[in-house]
Structures are given as C-alpha cells and as structure tokens.
Amino acid sequence: MAFRNKAYDYMEIEAGQAKDRPIQLADIDLFVATEFDVYFSSILAKSIASTITKLLTQVVAENTLVATGALIMGIFYSLTTQADTRMWTSLPKAVQGARIPLPEDGHLLLPSPQGVFLSEIDIPNCNACIVSVRITKANVTAAVATLPL
C-alpha cells in the first residue's frame, strides 16, 4: 500500500509572541494500512465479485440496449469504481494537536516551513477554542474551522 505525501513536513502556529508546532496524535495512513492488511482478503474478494458483476451487467446491457446501454454502464462502472478509492484519499493524512494561549489580538497565524502564511485565523471571543485546520497539499490555502468552548 502506497502512503500519500504530506502537504508539509511540519506546520507552525503563531499567536502573538507564542509559537508552537503541533505534535502528531494519529497517523491515519498507518491506521488505514493496518486495517487494509487485516481485511485485505475480504476486500479483494468483494472487489473481484463487484468487477465480475459490473462486467456481466455491461455485457447484458450491450447485447440488450446496444451502444447506449454500453455507454451508460461504462459511466456507471467508472463512477462506482472511483468512489471505492475516494474514501481513503478524503481522510486526513495525520491528526495533530497543539495547545497555545488564546492570542490577545484574536488572531492565529499558520506559516508554512518556507514562511508562507497559509491562513490567518480569527478566534472568537471565548475562554477556549478548538481550531481545525485541513491542508490538502502544499501551497494551497488551509481550510479552517473554529469551535469556541
């Protein structure tokens, strides 16, 4: 099983004068790989059965509905096969966590290792806040959500 590349080797969080690097809490790729190894035989059998079923359905559609049926089944086959692989790639590569004091100015900055600011986050007026950051690949703006506590 091939592991995905990280967007960045690390990320920093800046809140006023405070700086921190998140620590890794969970390696989702490793978790998925472990589950994959455990259930590989079952996954393989289901995939083979699914492929055979789709192939036979496409043959019947070709014979019954000619070109239009074959086209419809080909599109269906392509869409359902892509959905099988999309599930793993939509998961985060890792889950990381950091704890820093709430910034007085209400702003967090997320610089990349190269010093490019990925996001400036406005923290709501609260006692504590969970900030979720999702970075899908390098040089792409981070998707951010805040949850005041």
pLDDT score, position 113: 83
Q: Which helix (H) or strand (E) holds 37?
A: helix 28-89
pLDDT score, position 37: 80
Q: Which of 107, 87, 98, 103 is nearest to 132 (CA)?
A: 98
pLDDT score, position 130: 92
Is the pTM above the cut of 0.75? Answer: no
Nearest-Å Rg of the Cα atoms of the chain is: 22
Q: How far is it, in rounded angstroms, from Cα 149 to Cα 142? A: 22
Q: How far is it, in rounded angstroms, from Cα 89 to Cα 10? A: 20
Q: How far is it, in rounded angstroms, from Cα 145 to Cα 134? A: 9
Q: How far is it, in rounded angstroms, from Cα 28 to Cα 92? A: 7
pLDDT score, position 85: 53
Going by the DSSP 8-state scheme, the letter that residue 137 receives in this structure is S
Task: Give pLDDT tens digits along the chain (149 positions).
Answer: 667 788 888 888 999 888 899 999 998 888 888 887 888 788 788 888 888 887 787 777 777 777 776 777 777 777 766 555 556 667 788 889 998 888 889 999 998 888 888 889 999 989 899 999 888 788 777 889 999 99
Output the six-digit token pair for 130. 């969970």
Q: Which residues on adjacent β-strands are paired with residue 130?
A: 147
